[in-house]
Amino acid sequence: MENFYYEQPVPIDFGVGKIKELPSILEKFKAQNILLISAPSMVRNGMAQKIMDAAKGKIKAIFSDIQPNPTVQNTDQCVKVLREHNCDFAVALGGGSILDCAKVACFVASTTNMTEVYFTKQQLISQKGIPFIAIPTTSGTASEITNVSVLTDTVHDIKAPLASDFLYPIYALIDPTLTVSCPQKVTASSGLDVIAHSLEAFYGKKHQPYTDMAAEYAAKLAFENLLIAYHEPDNLEARTKMSLASVTAGMAFNLTQTAAAHACSYPLTQNFGVPHGEACALTLPIFWILNSTGPEGKRLEEFSRRLGFEDAKDLANRIDEMKKEMRMRMTIEEAGVTTSEDLELLVANSFAPNMKNNPVEITPDLLEKLYKSISSIHS
Ligand SMILES: [Zn+2]
C-alpha cells in the first residue's frame, strides 16, 4: 500500500443561491471592518453594491483595480486600502485574478512589508494574514480552495506562482448563479483550465488515491458540461456542474500541483498574451498522448476508457474538437508564435518547476518537436 498525505483545509459551502447567506457567514466570523475585493465587471453589474448593502455597513470599501493576470502593483494597491481602512476581514468576489490578488494582499497587509519582499526577494511567508472569504465568479482556477497565487511582476517581467499554507482563504462560498454572467470566451478558457487541472493532477508525479478520485470526477463533469455551458450561458444545471468540476479539480491539483501543459502556458500568456486556460489547452492533448506512452501510460489509457473514450488518443482528440467548437487557438502560429525566434523564446521560457512534475522527462529538444507538431506549417 502506498503512503500519502491529503488535506483540504478550506470549508466548501456550495449551492445555487448561496450568496444570500454571506451576511450570516460574515456574522459568524465576527468581521467588523471588511474590504470587498472584486472585479470592475462586478462593480458595473451591481453585484458588488448588492453585497455591500447586505453587509449592513460592515464593508467599508470596494477595491476593484485589478487586471487579468494580477500584478505586484495591484496587490500593493490593495494592501494600502486594507491598511487605510484598518480591515480585519475581506471578501474576495471574482475570477482567479481577483482571488489571487486577495490572497497575497490579505497576507502582505498584515506585515510591515510590501509584496516585493515575498514575491521578488522570496522571503518566506510564515504567518497568517487577514482572513478572507473567497467567492468565485468563474469556473476555472479553483483559487478559492488552493494555497497558490500567480502574480506578474511587470518591472522584472516575471509571472510566477507564490504558494504557502498561510495563503488559504478561510472559507469558500461557491454559488453557480454567479457564473451565469461569465462571457463566452471566459467560459471556454476557464473550462479548459478545469480539464487541464484534472488531467495534470492525474498524470503528475505527485498523484495519490484521493487526488486521482477527484481528478477523474472533475474531468468527467467538465467533458460532459463545458460545451453546454458555452452554448447556453443561462443553463444553470451545466453551470452548476462546471462549478463543481472546477472546485473538485482544485481538490486534486492543490496537492499534486500542475505539470507540463501549465509550465508551457506561462510564456504563452506572459510573452504572447494567450489567456491562461486556453494557453494550457494548446499543449494539453499532445502531453496527454505523450504521457500515455510513458511510465503512467496504462493508467492514462484506463482513465480515458472509464470516461467513455476509446483510448488516450481519442480523449486528446476530443479536447481538440472542443477547442475548435469554442473557437480557441489550435496552432502555435494562432498563439502568435510565428518566427523561429518566437519559438526559441517559447521553449526557453517553458521550464517552470512544474515541468519536472511530468511523468515523461521533457528536454528542450523534445519540447521544440512537440511545439512543431502543433504548428500549422508542419501539420
Ligand atoms: Zn490553471
For ligand 1, the distance from its centroid to the CA atom of residue 52, given in whole angstroms, is 30
- Distance in Å, CA 196 to ligand 1 centroid: 7
Distance 1 CA to ligand 1 centre (A): 31
Q: Looking at residue 155, what is its pLDDT?
A: 86
pLDDT the model gives residue 158: 82
In the reported structure, the alpha carbon of residue 198 is separated from the centroid of ligand 1 by a whole-number distance in angstroms of: 10
User: If you measure from the C-alpha of residue 315 to the centroid of ligand 1, how many angstroms do you get, rounded to a whole number?
Assistant: 19
Residue 378's pLDDT is 56
Residue 221's Cβ-count burial label (10 Å; 0-12, 13-18, 19+) is buried
- Ligand 1 centroid distance, CA of 112 (Å): 31
Q: How far is the CA of 126 from the centre of ligand 1 (A)?
A: 25
Half-sphere exposure of 45 (CA within 13 A, CB side): 14
CA of 86 to the centre of ligand 1 (A): 33
Distance from the CA of 60 to the center of ligand 1, in angstroms? Answer: 32
Distance 99 CA to ligand 1 centre (A): 13
Distance 276 CA to ligand 1 centre (A): 7
149, 142 contact by CB (below 8 A): no
Report the pLDDT value the prediction gives residue 1, as an integer from 0 to 100.
Answer: 54
CA distance 107 to 113: 10
In DSSP terms, 189 is beta-bridged to none
Q: Is the dihedral of CA 201, 204, 209, 210 positive or negative?
A: negative
Q: What is the pLDDT of residue 334?
A: 98
The reply to whether 182-373 shares the fold of 12-178 is no
Encode the chain (379 residues) as per-residue pLDDT tens digits.
579 999 999 999 999 999 999 999 999 999 999 999 999 999 999 999 999 999 989 999 999 999 988 999 999 999 999 999 999 999 999 999 999 999 999 999 999 999 999 998 899 999 999 999 999 999 999 999 999 999 999 888 888 889 999 999 999 999 999 999 999 999 999 999 999 999 999 999 999 999 999 999 999 999 999 999 999 999 999 999 999 999 999 999 999 999 999 999 999 999 999 999 999 999 999 999 999 999 999 999 999 999 999 999 999 999 999 999 999 999 999 999 999 999 999 999 999 999 999 999 999 999 999 999 999 885 4
Of 3.30.413.10, 3.40.50.1970, 3.40.50.300, 2.40.110.10, the CATH number of 12-178 is 3.40.50.1970
Which sign, positive or negative, has the C-alpha torsion 152, 335, 221, 228?
Answer: positive
Q: Are 297 and 213 in contact (CB under 8 A)?
A: no
Based on the number of CB atoms within 10 Å of its own CB, is 365 exposed (0-12), middle (13-18) or buried (19 or more)?
Answer: exposed
What is the 32 CA–ligand 1 centroid distance (Å)?
33
Decide: 344 and 355 in contact? Cβ < 8 Å. no
Contact indicator for 337, 376 with CB cutoff of 8 Å: no
For 182-373, CATH number out of 1.10.3720.10, 3.40.190.100, 1.20.1090.10, 3.30.450.40 equals 1.20.1090.10
Kindly list the domain boundaries of the chain, sorted by start residue: 12-178, 182-373
- Note the pTM of the prediction, 2 decimals: 0.95
Residue 315: closest CA among 220, 211, 248: 220
User: What's the rounded Cα separation, in Å, for the pair 289 and 317?
Assistant: 10
What distance in angstroms lies between residue 277's CA and the mean position of ligand 1's atoms?
A: 6
Q: What is the Å distance from ligand 1's center to 82 Cα?
A: 27
CA of residue 199 to ligand 1 center, whole Å: 11
| Secondary structure in 3-state letters for 52-107 | HHHCCCCEEEEECCCCCCCEHHHHHHHHHHHHHCCCCEEEEEECHHHHHHHHHHHH
How close is the Cα of 258 to the center of ligand 1, in Å?
A: 8
Tell me how far apart the alpha carbons of residues 70 and 97 are, in angstroms, rounded to a whole number.
6
Determine the distance separating the centroid of ligand 1 and the alpha carbon of 239, expressed in angstroms.
18
CA 231 – ligand 1 centroid, Å: 22
As a whole number of angstroms, the distance between CA 241 and CA 236 comes to 8
Are 197 and 142 in contact by the 8 Å Cβ rule? The answer is: yes
